[in-house]
Amino acid sequence: MMRVDLLSIFPDFFTSPLGEGIIRRARQAQIIDIAIHNIRDHAGDRHQMTDDRPYGGGEGMVMKPEPLAACLKAVPRRGRSRVILLSPRGVPFSQQQARLYADYDQLILVCGRYEGVDERFSSHHVDEECSIGDYVLSGGELAALVVIDAVCRLLPGALGCADSAERDSFSRSLLKHGQYTRPPVFEGLEVPAVLLSGDHLAIARHRFLESVRLTLARRPDLLSGLELSKAERALLAQEGLLAQVEQARQEQKQALEISA
Protein backbone atom coordinates (compact mmCIF):
# COMPACT_ATOMS: atom_id res chain seq x y z
CA MET A 1 0.00 0.00 0.00
CA MET A 2 1.33 3.41 -0.93
CA ARG A 3 1.46 6.05 1.77
CA VAL A 4 0.98 9.76 1.00
CA ASP A 5 1.57 12.43 3.63
CA LEU A 6 0.33 15.96 2.97
CA LEU A 7 1.88 18.94 4.77
CA SER A 8 -0.30 22.05 4.60
CA ILE A 9 -1.47 25.06 6.61
CA PHE A 10 -4.99 24.38 5.32
CA PRO A 11 -5.65 20.69 6.09
CA ASP A 12 -9.42 21.00 5.62
CA PHE A 13 -8.79 21.85 1.96
CA PHE A 14 -8.41 18.13 1.20
CA THR A 15 -11.47 16.73 3.00
CA SER A 16 -13.91 16.58 0.09
CA PRO A 17 -11.56 15.82 -2.86
CA LEU A 18 -9.90 12.91 -1.09
CA GLY A 19 -13.30 11.45 -0.19
CA GLU A 20 -14.60 11.15 -3.75
CA GLY A 21 -14.23 8.94 -6.82
CA ILE A 22 -11.20 6.79 -7.55
CA ILE A 23 -9.20 8.12 -4.60
CA ARG A 24 -11.98 7.27 -2.15
CA ARG A 25 -12.28 3.74 -3.53
CA ALA A 26 -8.51 3.26 -3.48
CA ARG A 27 -8.38 4.35 0.15
CA GLN A 28 -11.22 2.02 1.10
CA ALA A 29 -9.48 -0.86 -0.69
CA GLN A 30 -6.24 -0.04 1.19
CA ILE A 31 -4.40 0.62 -2.06
CA ILE A 32 -3.36 4.05 -0.87
CA ASP A 33 -3.17 5.56 2.62
CA ILE A 34 -3.32 9.35 2.89
CA ALA A 35 -2.52 11.38 6.01
CA ILE A 36 -2.80 15.15 6.38
CA HIS A 37 -0.51 17.14 8.68
CA ASN A 38 -1.16 20.70 9.80
CA ILE A 39 2.07 22.70 9.60
CA ARG A 40 0.65 25.23 12.08
CA ASP A 41 0.66 22.55 14.80
CA HIS A 42 4.45 22.71 14.68
CA ALA A 43 4.83 26.48 14.97
CA GLY A 44 6.66 27.53 18.11
CA ASP A 45 4.55 30.56 19.08
CA ARG A 46 1.04 30.90 20.48
CA HIS A 47 -0.20 32.53 17.27
CA GLN A 48 0.98 29.53 15.21
CA MET A 49 2.81 31.76 12.73
CA THR A 50 4.18 29.89 9.72
CA ASP A 51 5.29 32.88 7.60
CA ASP A 52 7.29 36.08 7.92
CA ARG A 53 8.59 38.95 5.79
CA PRO A 54 11.47 38.12 3.41
CA TYR A 55 15.00 39.20 4.27
CA GLY A 56 16.25 41.72 1.74
CA GLY A 57 12.79 43.20 1.25
CA GLY A 58 10.26 42.45 -1.40
CA GLU A 59 6.60 41.69 -1.73
CA GLY A 60 4.58 39.10 0.15
CA MET A 61 5.52 36.66 2.87
CA VAL A 62 7.76 33.58 3.04
CA MET A 63 7.03 30.32 4.86
CA LYS A 64 9.32 29.91 7.87
CA PRO A 65 11.70 26.93 7.91
CA GLU A 66 11.22 25.85 11.54
CA PRO A 67 7.52 24.77 11.38
CA LEU A 68 8.08 23.07 8.04
CA ALA A 69 11.08 21.12 9.26
CA ALA A 70 9.39 20.17 12.53
CA CYS A 71 6.27 18.98 10.72
CA LEU A 72 8.33 16.95 8.26
CA LYS A 73 10.38 15.32 11.03
CA ALA A 74 7.15 14.23 12.74
CA VAL A 75 6.07 12.22 9.67
CA PRO A 76 6.91 8.50 10.05
CA ARG A 77 8.97 7.20 7.10
CA ARG A 78 7.99 4.06 5.23
CA GLY A 79 10.28 2.20 2.83
CA ARG A 80 11.37 4.24 -0.19
CA SER A 81 10.06 7.73 0.49
CA ARG A 82 10.40 10.98 -1.42
CA VAL A 83 9.82 14.53 -0.18
CA ILE A 84 8.29 16.73 -2.88
CA LEU A 85 7.67 20.46 -2.59
CA LEU A 86 4.86 21.72 -4.82
CA SER A 87 6.29 24.89 -6.31
CA PRO A 88 5.98 26.90 -9.56
CA ARG A 89 9.74 26.69 -9.99
CA GLY A 90 9.76 22.89 -9.86
CA VAL A 91 10.25 20.29 -12.58
CA PRO A 92 7.11 20.09 -14.78
CA PHE A 93 4.79 17.26 -13.72
CA SER A 94 4.03 14.71 -16.43
CA GLN A 95 2.64 11.21 -16.90
CA GLN A 96 6.22 9.91 -16.87
CA GLN A 97 6.81 11.67 -13.55
CA ALA A 98 3.60 10.16 -12.17
CA ARG A 99 4.90 6.69 -13.07
CA LEU A 100 8.14 7.36 -11.22
CA TYR A 101 6.26 8.56 -8.15
CA ALA A 102 4.00 5.48 -8.24
CA ASP A 103 7.05 3.27 -7.65
CA TYR A 104 7.75 4.81 -4.25
CA ASP A 105 6.40 3.40 -0.99
CA GLN A 106 5.75 6.89 0.36
CA LEU A 107 5.30 10.38 -1.05
CA ILE A 108 5.54 13.36 1.28
CA LEU A 109 3.96 16.35 -0.43
CA VAL A 110 4.77 19.77 1.00
CA CYS A 111 2.30 22.48 0.00
CA GLY A 112 4.03 25.81 -0.41
CA ARG A 113 2.22 29.13 0.08
CA TYR A 114 2.75 32.87 -0.29
CA GLU A 115 5.98 33.85 -2.08
CA GLY A 116 7.51 30.45 -1.39
CA VAL A 117 9.34 28.63 1.40
CA ASP A 118 12.62 29.49 3.08
CA GLU A 119 15.41 28.23 0.81
CA ARG A 120 17.16 26.54 3.72
CA PHE A 121 14.23 24.19 4.14
CA SER A 122 13.89 23.35 0.45
CA SER A 123 17.62 22.83 -0.06
CA HIS A 124 18.16 20.61 3.00
CA HIS A 125 14.87 18.74 3.47
CA VAL A 126 13.28 18.43 0.02
CA ASP A 127 14.23 15.79 -2.55
CA GLU A 128 12.69 17.66 -5.48
CA GLU A 129 10.36 20.50 -6.39
CA CYS A 130 7.41 19.80 -8.68
CA SER A 131 5.22 22.15 -10.74
CA ILE A 132 1.95 21.20 -12.43
CA GLY A 133 2.17 24.01 -14.98
CA ASP A 134 3.50 27.41 -15.96
CA TYR A 135 1.08 29.45 -13.88
CA VAL A 136 0.86 30.53 -10.25
CA LEU A 137 -1.66 29.13 -7.75
CA SER A 138 -2.43 30.48 -4.30
CA GLY A 139 -0.76 27.43 -2.81
CA GLY A 140 0.41 23.89 -3.41
CA GLU A 141 -2.77 22.20 -2.21
CA LEU A 142 -4.42 22.03 -5.64
CA ALA A 143 -1.15 20.85 -7.18
CA ALA A 144 -0.84 18.12 -4.53
CA LEU A 145 -4.32 16.86 -5.39
CA VAL A 146 -3.35 16.69 -9.07
CA VAL A 147 -0.27 14.62 -8.22
CA ILE A 148 -2.21 12.28 -5.94
CA ASP A 149 -4.94 11.70 -8.52
CA ALA A 150 -2.47 11.01 -11.34
CA VAL A 151 -0.37 8.66 -9.20
CA CYS A 152 -3.34 6.87 -7.65
CA ARG A 153 -4.64 5.89 -11.11
CA LEU A 154 -1.39 4.01 -11.73
CA LEU A 155 -1.51 1.90 -8.57
CA PRO A 156 -2.51 -1.73 -9.18
CA GLY A 157 -6.21 -2.24 -8.49
CA ALA A 158 -7.11 1.46 -8.31
CA LEU A 159 -9.01 1.48 -11.61
CA GLY A 160 -11.89 -0.79 -12.52
CA CYS A 161 -10.21 -1.58 -15.85
CA ALA A 162 -6.55 -2.52 -15.53
CA ASP A 163 -5.77 -1.22 -19.04
CA SER A 164 -7.34 2.22 -18.57
CA ALA A 165 -4.20 3.95 -17.29
CA GLU A 166 -2.07 2.57 -20.12
CA ARG A 167 -4.50 3.92 -22.72
CA ASP A 168 -4.88 7.41 -21.29
CA SER A 169 -3.54 10.50 -23.01
CA PHE A 170 0.26 10.85 -22.68
CA SER A 171 0.64 7.12 -22.02
CA ARG A 172 2.76 6.86 -25.20
CA SER A 173 3.35 10.47 -26.27
CA LEU A 174 -0.06 10.70 -27.94
CA LEU A 175 -3.29 12.41 -26.99
CA LYS A 176 -6.23 10.08 -26.60
CA HIS A 177 -8.58 9.62 -29.54
CA GLY A 178 -12.19 10.84 -29.40
CA GLN A 179 -14.69 8.73 -27.47
CA TYR A 180 -18.34 7.99 -28.35
CA THR A 181 -21.30 6.42 -26.59
CA ARG A 182 -25.07 6.13 -27.08
CA PRO A 183 -27.07 7.42 -28.89
CA PRO A 184 -25.60 6.53 -32.30
CA VAL A 185 -26.87 9.87 -33.71
CA PHE A 186 -26.74 13.11 -31.70
CA GLU A 187 -27.88 16.44 -33.20
CA GLY A 188 -27.39 14.96 -36.65
CA LEU A 189 -23.85 13.76 -35.88
CA GLU A 190 -23.20 10.04 -36.29
CA VAL A 191 -20.72 7.84 -34.48
CA PRO A 192 -17.91 6.81 -36.89
CA ALA A 193 -19.10 3.68 -38.62
CA VAL A 194 -15.90 1.76 -37.92
CA LEU A 195 -16.64 1.86 -34.19
CA LEU A 196 -19.90 0.00 -34.80
CA SER A 197 -18.34 -2.57 -37.14
CA GLY A 198 -17.12 -5.06 -34.54
CA ASP A 199 -13.79 -5.23 -36.40
CA HIS A 200 -11.34 -4.78 -33.53
CA LEU A 201 -8.28 -4.41 -35.75
CA ALA A 202 -9.98 -1.70 -37.84
CA ILE A 203 -11.10 0.05 -34.65
CA ALA A 204 -7.55 -0.02 -33.24
CA ARG A 205 -6.18 1.46 -36.46
CA HIS A 206 -8.87 4.15 -36.50
CA ARG A 207 -8.17 5.15 -32.92
CA PHE A 208 -4.41 5.23 -33.48
CA LEU A 209 -4.80 7.48 -36.53
CA GLU A 210 -7.19 9.76 -34.67
CA SER A 211 -4.72 10.04 -31.79
CA VAL A 212 -1.94 11.00 -34.19
CA ARG A 213 -4.12 13.57 -35.97
CA LEU A 214 -5.23 15.09 -32.66
CA THR A 215 -1.66 15.24 -31.37
CA LEU A 216 -0.42 16.86 -34.57
CA ALA A 217 -3.12 19.51 -34.28
CA ARG A 218 -2.87 20.24 -30.56
CA ARG A 219 0.41 18.97 -29.09
CA PRO A 220 2.97 18.28 -31.84
CA ASP A 221 5.73 18.63 -29.24
CA LEU A 222 4.70 15.27 -27.77
CA LEU A 223 5.58 13.43 -30.97
CA SER A 224 9.31 13.77 -30.31
CA GLY A 225 8.96 10.95 -27.78
CA LEU A 226 6.73 8.71 -29.90
CA GLU A 227 8.14 5.30 -30.81
CA LEU A 228 6.51 3.68 -33.84
CA SER A 229 6.41 0.07 -34.92
CA LYS A 230 6.96 -0.86 -38.57
CA ALA A 231 3.23 -1.51 -38.95
CA GLU A 232 2.37 1.89 -37.49
CA ARG A 233 4.86 3.67 -39.75
CA ALA A 234 3.36 1.90 -42.76
CA LEU A 235 -0.16 2.87 -41.69
CA LEU A 236 0.84 6.51 -41.20
CA ALA A 237 2.56 6.55 -44.60
CA GLN A 238 -0.54 5.08 -46.19
CA GLU A 239 -2.69 7.84 -44.65
CA GLY A 240 -0.21 10.60 -45.58
CA LEU A 241 0.60 11.33 -41.92
CA LEU A 242 4.14 9.99 -41.59
CA ALA A 243 5.74 13.03 -43.22
CA GLN A 244 3.81 15.33 -40.88
CA VAL A 245 4.94 13.37 -37.85
CA GLU A 246 8.57 13.45 -38.96
CA GLN A 247 8.36 17.18 -39.65
CA ALA A 248 6.90 17.81 -36.19
CA ARG A 249 9.72 15.79 -34.66
CA GLN A 250 12.34 17.74 -36.59
CA GLU A 251 10.83 21.07 -35.57
CA GLN A 252 10.80 20.01 -31.93
CA LYS A 253 14.44 18.91 -32.16
CA GLN A 254 15.44 22.25 -33.67
CA ALA A 255 13.50 24.12 -30.96
CA LEU A 256 15.34 22.18 -28.27
CA GLU A 257 18.71 22.91 -29.88
CA ILE A 258 17.91 26.63 -30.03
CA SER A 259 16.77 26.74 -26.40
CA ALA A 260 19.95 24.94 -25.35
Active-site positions read 88, 115, 153, 168
Rounded to whole angstroms, the maximal C-alpha distance in the chain is 72
Alpha-carbon gap, residue 36 to 31, rounded angstroms: 17
Q: Strand pairing partners for 6?
A: 36, 109
Of how many residues is the chain composed? 260
| Helix axes 141-152 and 21-28, enclosed angle (nearest 10) | 60
User: Under DSSP, is residue 160 helix (H, G, I), strand (E, B) or coil?
Assistant: coil
Q: How many CA atoms lie within 13 A of 55 on its CB side?
A: 5
* Cα-based torsion angle of the residue sequence 249, 255, 257, 260 in order, rounded to the nearest 10 degrees: -140
Assess contact for 6 and 37: CB atoms under 8 A: yes
What are residue 53's phi and psi, to 5 degrees? -70, 145
With CA atoms as reference, report the closest residue to 158 among 16, 18, 29: 29
Collect all residues with Cβ–Cβ distance below 8 Å to 160 and sequence separation of at least 6: none
**CA gyration radius for the chain?**
23
